């Protein structure tokens, strides 16, 4: 009897912890700040090796500072290569600040000491804390930001590690999207970086004093939103609101919740063509099982689903009528909407969006297979049981 009591009490503790932790999180939500469209020159990356080469070239040219923030930072070949560059920059007198998510990174303690010895300022974000330990473990900083010399910035889906360049034989080819910015939008990246940096380090650096913005040619209007487990669902809802012809959604995890599902149903019923691309092979347990309960109603109104089979699809993008594009770090799932810290952009420029959209849709038409009602009806009893379990814990997947 005593042996049964211990796991029972543990389950009760975890449930109460998650319930009251979420309640506290929601009580701290403040109104969303109204961000403005700012002009930036934007370069788009769909391949990890090209993104990394570009990033390394920019870090080598840094003269004032490198501010780098990643959710996952592996202590593997790619991670070591980037760490080496950061150390070399710090030794040359460049101010280097590196932040990683407390739970998701794998930089060894030895390497952390080596970074600090070389002059790199290093902080871990969102460490678990009491009284709501289990909920705080779920509060992750999912942002990926780089700012160099207050002039150039990167934001998107790539983390740091061999797998993100397609070098993990188990996951194979890795599809993701990332952007390089020059112009006024870099200020928003810098502001977001220092919001996290100052919280973790206890410093109070004024981000505006670290800006040296340029005025490049060929700029496009872009809004940047940083969210802390709130408002993101509303932002996406607003992006979709005026869709007239088409919506494309690419996401590794599709757990939209009722509000966004109903929005998609409404759009489809008024004749908007909706295409959704997800990976065929998930990288975490239950995440794909949690997507299936949303599909029948969406398929019934004409929404198209496809699954990417040439490796892993990690991209996060929404396009509307070739006139709006939402892209950044957030997945179309409850965790990104209601728990994680994320940073995303909304771009409004038809000439820029059109070729990017065409590139994005190649995966949909050339490297993906349809998901139909027949696919769903063939799911086994065990798979349907997993759907029920996944739905029950979908907020924390």
- Taking only Cα atoms into account, the Rg of the chain, rounded to an integer number of angstroms, comes to 21
| SS3 state at 26 | helix
Q: Which of 314, 334, 338, 386 is catalytic?
A: 314
Task: Output the six-digit token pair for 298.
Answer: 């969406």
* CA atoms of 176 and 160, how far apart (whole Å): 12
Q: Which of 67, 144, 261, 341 is catalytic?
A: 144
CA torsion sign, 281 to 282 to 285 to 286?
negative
* CA atoms of 90 and 36, how far apart (whole Å): 34
- What are the CA-CA distances from residue 372 to residues 212, 233, 303, 369 (Å)? 51, 26, 10, 10
Q: Which of 142, 178, 341, 357 is catalytic?
A: 142
Q: Which of 101, 149, 176, 349 is catalytic?
A: 149
Q: Which of 76, 162, 168, 321 is catalytic?
A: 321
Q: Is 50 a catalytic residue?
A: no
Q: Is 321 a catalytic residue?
A: yes
Q: How many CB atoms lie within 10 A of CB 317?
A: 22
* CA atoms of 220 and 185, how far apart (whole Å): 10
Q: Is 149 a catalytic residue?
A: yes
* CA atoms of 389 and 233, how far apart (whole Å): 23
* CA atoms of 277 and 307, how far apart (whole Å): 6
Task: Output the six-digit token pair for 362.
Answer: 């190649």
Q: Is 84 a catalytic residue?
A: no
Q: How many CB atoms lie within 10 A of CB 54?
A: 15
Q: Is 231 a catalytic residue?
A: no
Q: Residue 209 burial by CB count (10 A; 0-12/13-18/19+): exposed, middle or buried? A: exposed
Q: Which of 25, 38, 178, 316 is catalytic?
A: 316
Cβ(143)–Cβ(54) under 8 Å? no
* CA atoms of 273 and 267, how far apart (whole Å): 8
Q: Is 116 a catalytic residue?
A: no
The residues carrying an active-site annotation are 142, 144, 149, 314, 316, 321
């Amino acid at each position: 009897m005593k042996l049964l009591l211990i796991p029972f009490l543990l389950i009760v503790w975890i449930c109460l912890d998650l319930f009251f932790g979420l309640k506290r999180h929601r009580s701290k939500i403040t109104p969303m700040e109204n961000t403005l469209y700012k002009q930036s020159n934007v370069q788009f990356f769909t391949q990890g090796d090209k993104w990394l080469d570009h990033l390394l070239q920019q870090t080598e040219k840094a003269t004032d500072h490198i501010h780098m923030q990643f959710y996952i930072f592996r202590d593997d070949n790619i991670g070591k290569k980037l760490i080496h560059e950061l150390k070399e920059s710090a030794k040359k007198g460049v101010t280097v600040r590196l932040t990683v998510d407390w739970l998701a990174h794998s930089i060894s303690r030895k390497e952390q000491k080596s970074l600090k010895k070389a002059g790199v300022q290093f902080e871990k974000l969102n460490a678990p804390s009491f009284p709501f330990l289990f909920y705080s473990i779920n509060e992750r900083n999912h942002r990926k930001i780089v700012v160099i010399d207050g002039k150039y910035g990167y934001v998107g889906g790539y983390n740091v590690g061999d797998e993100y360049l397609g070098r993990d034989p188990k996951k194979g080819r890795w599809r993701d999207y990332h952007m390089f910015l020059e112009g006024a939008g870099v200020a928003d990246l810098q502001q977001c970086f220092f919001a996290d940096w100052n919280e973790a380090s206890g410093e109070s650096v004024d981000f505006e004093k670290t800006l040296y913005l340029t005025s490049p040619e060929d700029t496009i209007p872009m809004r940047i939103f940083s969210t802390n487990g709130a408002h993101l669902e509303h932002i996406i809802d607003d992006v979709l609101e005026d869709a007239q012809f088409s919506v494309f959604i690419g996401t590794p995890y599709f757990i939209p919740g009722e509000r966004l599902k109903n929005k998609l149903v409404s759009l489809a019923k008024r004749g908007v063509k909706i295409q959704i691309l997800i990976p065929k092979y998930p990288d975490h347990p239950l995440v794909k099982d949690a997507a299936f309960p949303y599909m029948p109603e969406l398929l019934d109104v004409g929404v198209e689903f496809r699954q990417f089979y040439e490796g892993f699809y990690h991209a996060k993008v929404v396009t509307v009528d070739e006139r709006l594009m939402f892209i950044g770090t957030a997945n179309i799932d409850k965790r990104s909407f209601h728990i994680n810290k994320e940073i995303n952009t909304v771009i409004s420029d038809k000439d820029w969006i059109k070729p990017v959209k065409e590139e994005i849709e190649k995966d949909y038409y050339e490297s993906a297979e349809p998901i139909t009602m027949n696919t769903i009806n063939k799911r086994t009893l065990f798979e349907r049981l997993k759907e029920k379990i996944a739905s029950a814990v979908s907020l924390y997947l």
